[in-house]
Homo-oligomer: A and B are copies of this chain.
């Protein structure tokens, strides 16, 4: 009776995972990892949900309790980091330039991607080799993108139909994707955060062309 403190939810700190949650995370991770590994080996159409489930030691029906589709298991994280991203945009200092705000808001996302480097490298490889997935990877951000558009419009005080928030959000997303593609393809190279910085700097400078002389 001394310390059944496990139930208390301390706002601010993770409130004691609990066996059940841990198992769920494990199952989800196992399914995603198995899906990525098998698809990387054989190709998207040569892997069935049944095989993925078998590799993760669950039934095929359970697979669909975790992911709405085979694709979702591969591209992962729908809206997981999205809400935090929106929150970070909303919480940025008011006067800050929009591109700076967006770039800083992405820090957290970028850190998470770097933390799961193995997984993300595999994921980018699978996506580039199965272009059918690329739209899914982008679409996952569709809802988040709209939310950011709304937040930016409010921050700038311009009304929800003003073209600027939509343009800058779409463009920033494109810049991040370009940086991620570059990072994933020859990854021995630079840090993802640096590549993102470069891309955003180029945006702010009006996309100056690389000097042909020197």
Which residues of A are interface residues toward B (Cβ below 8 A)?
Answer: 97-99, 131-132, 134-139, 142-143, 156-158, 161-164, 166-168, 170-171, 173-175, 177-179, 181-182, 185-186, 195, 198-199, 202-207, 209-210, 212
- In the bound complex, residues from chain B placing their C-beta under 8 Å from that of A177 are 170
> Which residues from chain B contact A170 at a C-beta distance below 8 Å?
174-175, 177-178
User: A131 contacts B143, CB within 8 Å?
Assistant: yes
Name the residue of chain B whose CB is nearest to the CB of A152: B209
Q: Which residue of B lies closest to A203 (CB)?
A: B207
Residues of B within 8 A of A138 (CB): 134-135, 138-139
Given A131-B142, A135-B139, A139-B138; A210-B164 close (CB under 8 Å): yes
Tell me, rounded to whole Å, the shortest Cβ–Cβ distance linking A73 to chain B: 16
8 Å CB contact of A163 from B143, B168, B171, B199: B199
A162 is contacted by which of B142, B162, B210 (Cβ under 8 Å)? B210
Stoichiometry, copies per complex: 2
Residues of B within 8 A of A143 (CB): 131
User: Which residues does chain B contribute within 8 Å of A199, judged by CB atoms?
Assistant: 163, 167
* A177 CA / B134 CA spacing, docked (Å): 16
Most buried by B among A99, A131, A164, A207: A207
Known: A182-B166, A207-B168. A212 touches B139 (CB 8 A): no
Smallest CB gap from A164: residue in B: B210
- Contact between B142 and A195, CB atoms less than 8 A apart: no
Q: Which 5 A-B pairs have the closest CB atoms?
A: A135-B135, A135-B139, A174-B174, A170-B174, A206-B206
Report the minimal beta-carbon distance from A64 to chain B, rounded to whole angstroms.
16
Q: Which of chain B's residues have a CB closer than 8 A to the CB of A204?
A: 206-207
